[in-house]
């Protein structure tokens, strides 16, 4: 895993108390529960869920970690309501390790006195996805929103966030996380993604819930985003889908 912690490369949690890595997050604001995924590395925090991207920084002092995270809406669907009552909110919190977990407490600047707490649980894998070859004239390293739509008359889809970095993919939403690899050059890209649950989604998304879904894709791209056409294998079903990615923050 040491090679994955070189500058500009993803790292999954290995030796604990390093904090850097890829996590699922459960958070509470005044008794309301939310979930997301988060990548932590090189002083930055990039993640999100089906409606919001979470973009922030962290500072370590021994085992104590101080974080500041801003929310950015990427899904205009009004059914996804902002927990803070506003789309633009800033979290200030402190925390530290609890075994393999990290726990934080704090508050939003916009809601002083309303308690916030969260637990970050590492998403581990046997090894990082093998990096694909990345050339010029296509996607750049950064955090993207992704909106997936099913084809062939199948209702449903997913929205979430995806972090692209030098041929590797991390991402997810409130129920799923993604690990994958891609190659890109001259306005074209292709790759593979493994979509897995970190929280049971059978009642929320019957298409992908309960399945480990393999997705192969190809499409077009530039420095602002990408589109892709893909085939997903969910259980015994083979499903066609399309997706739109928009750059939210360069990394």
For the chain, give the percent of residues with pLDDT over 90. 78
pLDDT grade, residue 204 (50/70/90)? confident
Q: How many CB atoms lie within 10 A of CB 94?
A: 14
DSSP string, the chain: -GGGGSTTS-----STT---EEEEEEEEETTEEEEEEEEEETTEEEEE-SSEEEEEEEEEETTEEEEEEEEEE----TTS--TTSSSS-EEEEEEEEETTEEEEEEEETTSTT--EEEEEEE---SSPPPPPPB-SSS--SEEEEEEEEE-TT---EEEEEEEEETTEEEEE-SSEEEEEEEEEETTEEEEEEEEEESS--TTT-TTTTTS-EEEEEEEEEETTEEEEEEEEEETTEEEEEEEEEEEEEE-
Give the Cβ contact number of residue 95 at 10 Å.
22
Q: Which residues pair with 249 in a beta bridge?
A: 143
pLDDT digits (tens, 9 = 90+) for 88-142: 999 999 999 999 999 999 999 999 999 999 999 998 755 566 788 899 999 999 9
Mean pLDDT of all residues in the chain?
A: 90
Q: Which domains does the chain have, with CATH numbers?
A: 2-122 (2.40.128.380), 142-250 (2.40.128.380)
pLDDT of residue 111: 95
pLDDT at residue 230, as a whole number? 97
What's the pLDDT at 129? 67
pLDDT-derived band of residue 5, with 50, 70 and 90 as boundaries?
A: very low
Q: Render pLDDT for 64-97 as a digit per residue (tens, 0 to 9).
A: 999 999 999 999 999 999 998 999 999 999 999 9
pLDDT of residue 6 exceeding 60 = no
Q: How far apart are CA 128 and CA 238, in angstroms?
A: 26
Closest residue by Cα to residue 56 from 66, 64, 85? 66
Q: What is the pLDDT averaged over residues 186-191?
A: 97
The overall pTM is greater than 0.85: yes
Asked whether the predicted pLDDT for residue 8 surpasses 90, the reply is no
Nearest to 217 by CA among 235, 197, 233: 233
Q: Give pLDDT, residue 109.
A: 96
Q: What is the pLDDT of residue 156?
A: 85
**What average pLDDT score do residues 230-237 get?**
90
Residue 206 banded pLDDT, cuts 50, 70, 90: confident
pLDDT on residue 250: 94
Between CA 34 and CA 28 the distance in angstroms is 6
Q: pLDDT digits over 155-188, tens only?
A: 888 999 999 999 999 999 999 999 999 999 999 9
- What is the structure's pLDDT at 126? 52
Q: Given this model, what pLDDT does residue 16 score?
A: 47
């Amino acid at each position: 895993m040491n090679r994955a912690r070189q500058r500009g490369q993803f790292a999954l949690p290995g030796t604990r108390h390093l904090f850097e890595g890829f996590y699922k997050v459960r958070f509470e604001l005044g008794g309301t529960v939310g979930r997301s995924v988060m990548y932590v590395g090189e002083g930055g925090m990039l993640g999100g869920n089906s409606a919001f991207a979470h973009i922030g920084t962290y500072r370590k002092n021994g085992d104590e970690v101080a974080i500041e995270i801003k929310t950015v809406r990427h899904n205009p669907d009004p059914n996804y309501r902002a927990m803070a009552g506003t789309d633009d909110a800033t979290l200030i919190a402190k925390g530290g390790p609890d075994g393999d977990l990290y726990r934080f407490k704090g508050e939003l600047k916009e809601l002083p006195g309303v308690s916030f707490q969260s637990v970050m649980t590492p998403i581990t894998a046997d090894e990082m996805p093998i990096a694909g070859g990345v050339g010029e004239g296509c996607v750049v390293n950064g955090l993207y929103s992704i909106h997936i739509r099913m084809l062939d008359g199948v209702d449903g889809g997913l929205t979430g966030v995806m972090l692209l970095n030098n041929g590797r993919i991390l991402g997810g939403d409130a129920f799923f996380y993604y690990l994958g690899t891609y190659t890109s050059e001259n306005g074209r890209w292709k790759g593979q993604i493994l979509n897995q649950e970190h929280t049971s989604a059978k009642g929320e998304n019957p298409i992908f819930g309960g399945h480990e879904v393999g997705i192969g894709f190809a499409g077009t791209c530039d420095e602002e985003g990408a589109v892709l056409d893909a085939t997903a294998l969910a259980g015994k079903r083979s499903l066609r889908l399309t997706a739109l990615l928009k750059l939210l923050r360069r990394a």
